[in-house]
Chain A
Amino acid sequence: MKQAFPILAVLTAFFLVYAFYQALWVAPTDALQGDVYRIIYYHVPSAWTAFLLFFINFIASVQYLANAKPSTARAARWIVIAIGTVGFFASFVPQVRQQLPTGMYPSSVATTFLIITGLYFVIGKYFGGQDLGGFSAFILAVNTSGAMSPFMPRVMRRFFTKVFGAYGAADGQDLDVLAVTTAEVGVVFCTIVLVTGPIWARPVWGIWWAPGDIRLTSTLVLWLIYVSYLVLRRFSDSAQTQKLAAVLAVFGALDVPLVYFSIWFFRTQHPQPVIGGGGSMDPRMLHVLLISWMAFLSFAFLVCWSRYRLEKLRREVEEAEALESLMETSATFSAGKVPFSQGSK
């Protein structure tokens, strides 16, 4: 897999250049805003990427906490399945359909719920390091026993093991590394959103910041929450830092909808300058926007991958260093000396 990285990096670079070209030359000039609007080709994809990364962090944190005990892990899985199913069917129910903001199709809401559930299980599989229980244990038993071998070609057996077996470190470390990675990279992208947002607003609407701008303010709060998450990780000396950080991520996730609604209502009482012009987007602009998003997603993927490897390596080195100083200490003891008596490293 490591060989894939340079190739992917080059491909991503080309993709980003292509998106850049599309954003600046291919996309049509906006009738009202002129060429400045092209900022959105960096601003909006960064926002979507940041939200996706933070969402993955939330899922990883929940799994990290739930996987502490098999009973809670199982309960969490069933709750996620329930949320997915209920959300999927609910988005088609007429009463719920009316509540949806204009332009949002019920099918996309339904798909989002399915993706949420799918994401939970995919992350659990590749990073959870725990057996999925029940069905997978059955499949595994069938495969290893060879009982079905006349009927199940080897390739299928390997497929089932791959699909239903589990990877990842057994104690959920990988989940935690994923959490740190997505939090950090998410903060980077979120910073870009908060920087490019006002830069866009100033020439177009004359103000740097509107207090009732619900999207930008919610993004600000999300940024604050995750910066505090990273600070907690850095400043905490506890052995349970990872659990505490996961708890903070859950609190943050609970907070975001409340932020959204509080600002939304605040806006209805305090008329704000009209921002974010309504109406649908020119399809060519949407097309370029999606290209730009794909390019930034692949870029984000590569950055996350690097950060992930860095973190795993760092932890291994830490363990090795701890082990070494432990051995030094015991060696000093057996030599009859007191360790650390002369100002050690």
Chain B
Amino acid sequence: MNSIKFLYAAYIATWLIHGLYLGSLVRRYGRLRQQMKDLGKGK
């Protein structure tokens, strides 16, 4: 029954990797929005 742990590990790993990537996308969006605001202020 120890092998079931591998199943959990695989599923968790999958969503972890997806989550990390989506997180990086969100962070990049945030940075872009900040840059757009700076541009708008006419730095």
Interface size on A, residues (CB 8 A): 31
The answer to whether B32 touches A310 (Cβ under 8 A) is: yes
The reply on A313 being an interface residue by CB < 8 A is: yes
In the docked arrangement, what's the CA distance between A65 and B29, Å?
29
The answer to whether B11 touches A42 (Cβ under 8 A) is: yes
In the docked arrangement, what's the CA distance between A299 and B22, Å?
11
The answer to whether B36 touches A39 (Cβ under 8 A) is: no
Q: Give the chain B neighbours of A118 by CB distance below 8 A.
A: none
Q: Which of A124-132, A144-152, A193-201 contacts B (4 or more CB under 8 A)?
A: A193-201
The answer to whether A199 touches B39 (Cβ under 8 A) is: no
Question: Known: A188-B18, A195-B17, A310-B25. Is A35-B39 also a contact (CB below 8 A)?
Answer: no
Q: Give the chain B neighbours of A38 by CB distance below 8 A.
A: 7
Q: Which of A92-100, A268-276, A316-324 contacts B (4 or more CB under 8 A)?
A: A316-324
Q: Give the chain A neighbours of B3 by CB distance below 8 A.
A: 34-36, 203-204
In the docked arrangement, what's the CA distance between A209 and B28, Å?
35
Chain A proximity of B30: nearest CB distance (Å): 11
Chain A proximity of B32: nearest CB distance (Å): 6
The reply on A191 being an interface residue by CB < 8 A is: yes
A292-334 interface code vs B (CB 8 A; 1 in, 0 out) = 0000000100010011001001100100110010000000000
Chain A proximity of B8: nearest CB distance (Å): 10
The reply on A202 being an interface residue by CB < 8 A is: yes
The reply on A219 being an interface residue by CB < 8 A is: no
The reply on A109 being an interface residue by CB < 8 A is: no
Main secondary structure of the interface of B (DSSP, over half): helix
The answer to whether A196 touches B18 (Cβ under 8 A) is: no
Question: Known: A36-B7, A313-B32. Is A196-B13 also a contact (CB below 8 A)?
Answer: yes
The answer to whether B25 touches A317 (Cβ under 8 A) is: no
Report the interface size class on chain B: 20 to 34
Which residue of B has the minimal Cβ distance to A43?
B10
In the docked arrangement, what's the CA distance between A191 and B18, Å?
10
Chain B proximity of A42: nearest CB distance (Å): 5
Q: Give the chain B neighbours of A185 by CB distance below 8 A.
A: 21
The reply on A192 being an interface residue by CB < 8 A is: yes
Question: Known: A36-B4, A310-B25. Is A324-B14 also a contact (CB below 8 A)?
Answer: no
The answer to whether A321 touches B39 (Cβ under 8 A) is: yes
Partner of A35, one of B4, B9, B21, B36: B4
Chain A proximity of B11: nearest CB distance (Å): 6
Q: Give the chain B neighbours of A196 by CB distance below 8 A.
A: 10, 13-14
The answer to whether B17 touches A192 (Cβ under 8 A) is: yes
In the docked arrangement, what's the CA distance between A38 and B7, Å?
7
Q: Give the chain A neighbours of B11 by CB distance below 8 A.
A: 39, 42
Question: Known: A188-B17, A321-B35. Is A199-B9 also a contact (CB below 8 A)?
Answer: yes
The reply on A46 being an interface residue by CB < 8 A is: yes
Q: Given A204-B3, A317-B36, list of 16 further CB < 8 A pairs? A: A34-B3, A34-B4, A38-B7, A39-B11, A42-B11, A43-B10, A195-B10, A199-B9, A200-B10, A202-B6, A303-B21, A313-B32, A320-B39, A321-B35, A324-B39, A345-B43
A interface, CB within 8 angstroms of B: 34-36, 38-39, 42-43, 46, 185, 188, 191-192, 195-196, 199-200, 202-204, 299, 303, 306-307, 310, 313-314, 317, 320-321, 324, 345
Interface CB pairs A-B, < 8 A, 5: A34-B3, A188-B21, A192-B13, A196-B14, A199-B6
B interface, CB within 8 angstroms of A: 2-4, 6-7, 9-11, 13-14, 17-18, 21-22, 25, 28-29, 32, 35-36, 39, 43
